[in-house]
Structure 1
Amino acid sequence: MRMHIVIAGLTGLLASAGGALSAPPPGLIDRVLANGLAVTIAPDTSLPIVSTRVWYHVGAANETKDTRGFAHLFEHLMFSGTPTHEKGAWEAHHHRFGGIENAHTSWDETTYESDIPPAGIHDVLAMEADRMVNLRLDEAALENEKKIVTEELRATIENDPYDRMLVAALKSLCGDHPYAVTPLGTKEDIAAATLDQARAFYARYYRPRNAHLVIVGPVDGPATLAEVERAFGAIRAAGETPPDVPSLWGWRFPERIALKEDLPPAEVAVLVYPLPPPDSEDDVALSLMEEILGSSQVDPFREDLVRKRRQALEAGIQVLSLRRGGVLCFYSAVLPYRREAGQFDVMNETMRTLERKEWLTDARLAGAKRKMLRAIELQRYRAADLADALAKERWWRGDAALAFTRADRLAAISRADVARVFDRYVTNAKPVAVYIQPEKVPVMLQLFGWLLPLVMR
């Protein structure tokens, strides 16, 4: 993916100097233009930078069999230039103003980012509107970007066994669900892409009705809205809206998945628990639960399995959150001498320990809230963070203004709320059991690996 490494400093007082974002500011503008383009403008004269985000609501999960990998391919193609703005003009404009530009692809959206001083915002809007409808798509541009994307795939998935394992696990877990494919696509997908297919994909999805424009920073709200209407308003409301992706919550998953990969000589067992979409009423409580379990100083799952009982080399918790649901994963890694059933037995013992909720103390709840509230408070001081939050809240939860009320909703969550969602989505749920074995195991490790726990005691 296109990635510009940025080192940014942030000064200012945090939560102790004022309350967290708790209500939409008076000048917030949240409109939908006649052609379907959603526009959110959050003026703030205290910020030095204007952050602009264009979220196209099409990602890997919206691709069809003949357009696999196209969302990621267009993340690159959108910088091919137009008849008005030659290739490289976008980057040159940001370089001239000392700005930052970036783009990335996910399962649910493809996003284009700009952070620039106020004097540069006018051309940013002009270029974003221009490439929404006038993108130069020819054989030369397509072949060039296909080579770049293919090289990305070679440098990541092809040469990283862990990435290959994750791709295989996702495909096996999700089956026919649109989330079974990864945003990167495959070399075969990219090689098969034709110019006619690319043009059709662009005409279908890169249109106002599938886009959300967010502007945050020292701008005049009404004047900026008028400028947006001049730049984007004349674009026809053509194209299609992708069909919505089914929820992962309630999807029929397999009971067990067995995989082999060229990993170091360790076997990995994973318990996978499906989670509801982020517009669920349990979303905030689940986020707090995930923070306590997986992001606190002491991971209770690892603490019990690795440090106290010495039943794994490593263990932990990972969460994948997407627009139409997510998964909570508990994993452990051991040397390949233990039987699969035995490894899941010791994991289940630890899960029963977690069910007692000794990890859910007032102190840990308060600490997790402070950390999450601090992250929300940082949006006061960095336009980019607030722009990302506004775009995500509108697309994932249906209302951009929810970015301003999340702190209050988080503060209202109690220990009982966290205990309730843990019981609903973990204790009373049936996980998918995933077991991953290495393709090759040294003979001596197979014969004598069982001695290691005795040595470690």
Structure 2
Amino acid sequence: MINKLKLAAGALLLSAVGFSQEVEYTEYDLDNGLHVILHQDNSAPVVTTSVMYHVGGKDREDGRTGFAHFFEHLLFEGTENIPKGKWFEIVSSHGGNNNANTSNDRTYYYETFPSNNLELGLWMESERMMHPVIKQEGVDTQNEVVKEERRMRMDNSPYGNILPAMQKNMFKKHPYKDPNIGYMEDLDAATLQEFKDYFAKYYVPNNAVLVVAGDIDIKETKDMIQDYFGPIKAGEEVTRDYPKEEPITEEIHAEFYDPNIQIPMAITGYRTPEFGNKDSYVLNMISTYLSDGKSSKLYKKLVDEQNIALQVGAFNLEQEDYGMYLIYALPQGETSLDSINTEIEDEITKLRNELISESDFEKLQNKAENSYVNSNSSIAGIANSLARNYLLYKDTSLINEEIDIYRNITREDIKEVANKYLKPNQRVIIDYLPEEKEAE
């Protein structure tokens, strides 16, 4: 009887979780091309207003890198109707919080307010799109901010150049070869007019998606969106034709020296498919299998059993044109990087040659479900998912259907994808080393 009750309770819980994750939304386009997605959830008096622009680190000319990340900062400087330096003060004084972030493929701005300040959030984002103040003073100020960020996160941070080191060796033609934050000499050399031209090209309604999620009334919200965003003029259509990379057919082995570290790091990278490709979802599951938690294969083998690594991890960096699959490890004691790489390859070989166990596969499915639930557990998370799914995956409905992709992945798929992408002749190996200091 107790077991039956437990089963019944479990079924009810699963049913409730499944129901709670069904996200209803309305989407449409304004006449100027701005795509709008609305999600109504009146369970709490909170609303998130967000705009995702289809512009990122890859959108640049040679010699002018880092513009998208620079604009992430610059567009908080102020507008014709928001005084310089007052953006964050306005948000916090109305009980809100906000932030922005930039990847190689998109830039995302958002504010979360008590729902009675919905109109304020819409006004501020429309101001950012329509009336930004782009002057030399602001450019100079943010140039110093970006330089300090680069120093803090990359130049003076231990292991801060892992990604740039891999990008430089994995890509030879595509803009992904350069760091998202760009090179400081490029920003120093850019003219004010170049910054204005960049804004005019990419920060236009027809190159963006607006998401409003939370405690809203759909009709009232549509009216406000029309009032604030409808008058903004469309820009020219953004076209992209970036160089295609040749397949990696022979192992690339390179070294990178970091003056901020004492322990070297072994890094292995593989070029992988783009956003939305089913194989990319499979690679996400492979990452979980290899390095998510202390029971994962690489952690258990290298850290617990063999005691040859201090830390190990694997992750699939999904991007719009090409992805990157990275595995890294910090060796323990006198263990060589070659020894670490050999043991990692041994586990990858097993993936290519054998099906993972049924019990391990069940764990992967459970973790995928948990990750899906967590990603949409807040209004801000739902807003982000809706924007990303529309802009980068070209399918807004993934917010409800993405879990089905994971549920339909099989053990055979994992083996097939490992054979397709994770081969020794397709990898880039970086010996990430302490910078040798000259003897005094």
Task: Return the match for 2:137 from 140, 160, 166.
Answer: 140
Structure 1 residue 276: Cα displacement: 0.6
| 1:302 counterpart residue number | 299
Given residue 141 of structure 2, which amino acid in structure 1 is its aligned partner?
N
| In 2: Cα distance, 1:164 partner to 1:54 partner | 29
Given residue 430 of structure 2, which amino acid in structure 1 is its aligned partner?
V
| In 2: Cα distance, 1:341 partner to 1:380 partner | 41
Which structure 2 residues correspond to residues 25-424 of structure 1 after superposition, within 5 A?
25=24, 28-243=25-240, 245=242, 250=247, 255-262=252-259, 264-334=261-331, 344-355=341-352, 357=354, 360-378=356-374, 381-424=377-420
Give me the TM-score of the superposition, normalised by structure 1.
0.84
Structure 1 residue 94: Cα displacement: 1.9
Structure 1 residue 219: Cα displacement: 1.0
8 Å contact kept, 2:299–2:311: yes
Given residue 223 of structure 2, which amino acid in structure 1 is its aligned partner?
A
| In 1: Cα distance, 2:231 partner to 2:261 partner | 57
SS in 1 for 2:104: coil
Structure 1 residue 216: Cα displacement: 0.8
Structure 1 residue 440: Cα displacement: 2.5
Q: Deviations over 1:241-269 (max 9, x none)?
A: 15155677947886222333325444433
| 2:7 counterpart residue number | none
| 2:5 counterpart residue number | none
| In 2: Cα distance, 1:400 partner to 1:393 partner | 5
Structure 1 residue 331: Cα displacement: 2.9
Give me the TM-score of the superposition, normalised by structure 2.
0.87
Q: Deviations over 1:327-374 (max 9, x none)?
A: 22233444796776665444433433444557x333333333333323
Change (3 A) 1:136 1:264: closer
8 Å contact kept, 1:51–1:383: yes
2:16 matches 1:17: yes
Aligned residues between the structures: 428
8 Å contact kept, 1:150–1:190: no
Structure 1 residue 158: Cα displacement: 2.1
| 2:6 counterpart residue number | none
| In 1: Cα distance, 2:151 partner to 2:98 partner | 24
Change (3 A) 1:48 1:377: farther
| 1:454 counterpart residue number | none
| In 2: Cα distance, 1:269 partner to 1:15 partner | 41
Change (3 A) 1:345 1:441: farther
| In 1: Cα distance, 2:208 partner to 2:404 partner | 29
| 2:4 counterpart residue number | none
Structure 1 residue 151: Cα displacement: 1.7
8 Å contact kept, 2:348–2:418: no
Given residue 30 of structure 1, which amino acid in structure 2 is its aligned partner?
E
Given residue 411 of structure 2, which amino acid in structure 1 is its aligned partner?
R
Structure 1 residue 34: Cα displacement: 1.8
Task: Return the match for 1:436 from 424, 432, 436.
Answer: 432
Of the structure 1 ranges 95-104 and 403-412, higher mean CA displacement relative to structure 2 is found in 403-412
Structure 1: stretches of 5+ with no match in the other structure = 1-12, 444-457
| Cα RMSD for the two superposed structures | 3.0
Structure 2: stretches of 5+ with no match in the other structure = 1-11
SS in 1 for 2:422: helix
Identity value in percent: 28
Q: Deviations over 1:94-136 (max 9, x none)?
A: 2122111101111111111111111111121122112212111
Change (3 A) 1:89 1:310: closer
Change (3 A) 1:366 1:305: same
| In 2: Cα distance, 1:245 partner to 1:394 partner | 21
